[in-house]
Amino acid sequence: MFLPTSHAVESSSYSPPPCQQFTFSQIELATRGFDESLVIGRGGFGRVYRGTITSGATLLDAAIKRLESTSNQGAVEFWAEIEMLSNLRHSHLVSLIGYCNEGKEMILVYWNEFIEREAESFLLFLIELVKDK
């Protein structure tokens, strides 16, 4: 399934591709089998995992949100979020890069730009620190 986007991310040289469908196997690989040590948050939808996923030819740091069976949210909210975030791209909004809707699984995959920006900033800081010595 291809959902078009209308705006590019302005804050980085990388712009996530339009929303893509991932297989459950890809998600399991990205989260190392939903390893609990990779949980970076919990919400009404379920747990959010930090993972690494391939999007096109690019390896991305991702935030992967998995619907829990006990959640009050469901298919309506899942598809609404995909529709909304697939059509909006802005530097102040999270970038949805894909989803998985396989069997009973409903999973949203976001580009974890914050983590990538922080890593880049830290690397630049280290380079400057070394240059100053």
Binding site members for ATP? 65
Q: Pairing relation of β-strands 95-102 and 58-67?
A: unpaired
Q: How far apart are CA 84 and CA 90, in angstroms?
A: 12
| DSSP secondary structure letters along 48-71 | EEEEEEEETTEEEEEEEEEE-TT-
Residue numbers belonging to the annotated binding site: 65
Nearest partner of 60 among 127, 125, 119, 122, judged by Cα: 119
* Buried-state track 41-64, b at ≥16 Cβ within 10 A, e below 16: eeeebbbbbbbebebeeeebbbbb
